[in-house]
C-alpha cells in the first residue's frame, strides 16, 4: 500500500509549545549525564578494566567486529529505505540514506538513545523529504526493530535461566515480549475493524498515517517476510559482536551465554534513561 498522498497537507502537531519546556528538558539531560557518569564511575571503581587484557587485544577479532557493525548499518539502512519508500512512494538514493544513518549512529553513542533518531529527521532536506514523512519513517524503523527484538528475546529465555535463579529477569522479559507483541498485533486487528468508523476519520491525518504504516510494517507481506527478519538478523549480529569483543580480550564466554544475556542488554538499551542507552 502506498501512502504517497501529499505529506504537506498533514496536520502535523506544533512543537512550539515544547520550546517553553526547554528548562525542564535541560534538567532531564543534565540528570542523564550525571547518571551516565555515575554508572561509569561506579563500574570503573569496583570493576576496573583489566589492563593486561586490554594490552593483548586480538586485532583480527576487533576488525571482524567492526566489519559486522558496518554490515548492521547496511541492513538497517535497507529496512529504513523500505519504510520510507512505502510512505512517500519514491525511492531515495541508498547512499544518501546510508550517510544519514551513519551520522545518526554516531550521535546515538553520545546522546540519549533518541538523539540519533532526531538527527535523522533533521537531515530530511538531504533527500528532499518532509518533516512528517521523515519523523514517521524513523518512528516506524525504531518500532520494527523493537518488535523484532521482542521476538528474538522469547527463544533466549531458556538459556537465561542459569543466570537468573529467582526468575525475576525472566518474568520481566517474558512479560515485556509477550505483552508488547500482543499489543502490536492486536492493534493491527483492531485497526481493520475501526478503519472506516467516525472515530477513525476524526483523527488527524498524521495519526492515521502513522497507525496504518505501523500496521503495514509488522503485518504486511513485506513486514513479515522482510522487515522483521531483517531486524532479527541485525540483533543476532549484535550478539556476534559481543561474542567477538569478549574473545578479543580473552573473556571465554560461549555464544549461548551471549544469546541469553544479549536480548536483556538490548531491551535495557531501548529505554532513554542514560546517554547512549
Confidence band for 117, pLDDT divided at 50, 70 and 90:
confident
151 occurs within a structural domain: yes
Confidence band for 21, pLDDT divided at 50, 70 and 90:
low
Q: Which of 28-32, 127-131, 217-221, 236-240 has the lowest mean pLDDT?
A: 28-32
118 occurs within a structural domain: yes
210 occurs within a structural domain: yes
Highest mean pLDDT: which range of 53-62, 103-112, 190-199, 255-264: 255-264
Closest CA to 267 of 136, 167, 182, 169: 169
Taking residues 125-135, what's their average pLDDT? 87
3 occurs within a structural domain: no
Q: For residues 205 and 87, what is the distance between their CA atoms, to the nearest angstrom?
A: 13
Please give the distance of CA 48 from its chain centroid, rounded to a whole number.
30
- Any idea of the CA torsion for 83, 271, 62, 154, to the nearest 10 degrees? -80
13 occurs within a structural domain: no
- The pLDDT, as a whole number, for residue 22 is 67
How far apart, in Å, are the Cα atoms of 180 and each of 94, 119, 188? 31, 26, 13
Q: What nine digits make up the cell of 190?
A: 483492531
Domain hosting 178: range is: 28-37+57-270
14 occurs within a structural domain: no
Output the average pLDDT for the chain: 84
49 occurs within a structural domain: no
Question: Considering its fold, how many domains does the chain have in total?
Answer: 1
255 occurs within a structural domain: yes
Amino acid at each position: 500500500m502506498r501512502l504517497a498522498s501529499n505529506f504537506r497537507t498533514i496536520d502535523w502537531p506544533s512543537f512550539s509549545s515544547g520550546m517553553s519546556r526547554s528548562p525542564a528538558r535541560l534538567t532531564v539531560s543534565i540528570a542523564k549525564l550525571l547518571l551516565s557518569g555515575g554508572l561509569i564511575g561506579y563500574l570503573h571503581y569496583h570493576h576496573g578494566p583489566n589492563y593486561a587484557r586490554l594490552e593483548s587485544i586480538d586485532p583480527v577479532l576487533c576488525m571482524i567486529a567492526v566489519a559486522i557493525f558496518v554490515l548492521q548499518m547496511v541492513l538497517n539502512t535497507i529496512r529504513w529505505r523500505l519504510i520510507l519508500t512505502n510512505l512517500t512512494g519514491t525511492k531515495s538514493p541508498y547512499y544518501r540514506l546510508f550517510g544519514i544513518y551513519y551520522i545518526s549512529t554516531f550521535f546515538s553513542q553520545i546522546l540519549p538513545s533518541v538523539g540519533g533518531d532526531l538527527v535523522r529527521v533533521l537531515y530530511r532536506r538531504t533527500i528532499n523529504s518532509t518533516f512528517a514523512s521523515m519523523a514517521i519513517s524513523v518512528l516506524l524503523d525504531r518500532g520494527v526493530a523493537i518488535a523484532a527484538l521482542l521476538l528474538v528475546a522469547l527463544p533466549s529465555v531458556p538459556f537465561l535461566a542459569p543466570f537468573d535463579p529467582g526468575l525475576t529477569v525472566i518474568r520481566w522479559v517474558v512479560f515485556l515480549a509477550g505483552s508488547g507483541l500482543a499489543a502490536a498485533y492486536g492493534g493491527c486487528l483492531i485497526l481493520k475493524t475501526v478503519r472506516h468508523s467516525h472515530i477513525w476519520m476524526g483523527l488527524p491525518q498524521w495519526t492515521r498515517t502513522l497507525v496504518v504504516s505501523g500496521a503495514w510494517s509488522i503485518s504486511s507481506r513485506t513486514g513479515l517476510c522482510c522487515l522483521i527478519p531483517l531486524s532479527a538478523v541485525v540483533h543476532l549480529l549484535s550478539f556476534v559482536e559481543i561474542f567477538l569483543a569478549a574473545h578479543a580480550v580473552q573473556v571465554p564466554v560461549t555464544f549461548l551465554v551471549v544469546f541469553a544475556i544479549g536480548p536483556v542488554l538490548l531491551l535495557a538499551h531501548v529505554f532513554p534513561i542514560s546517554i547512549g542507552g
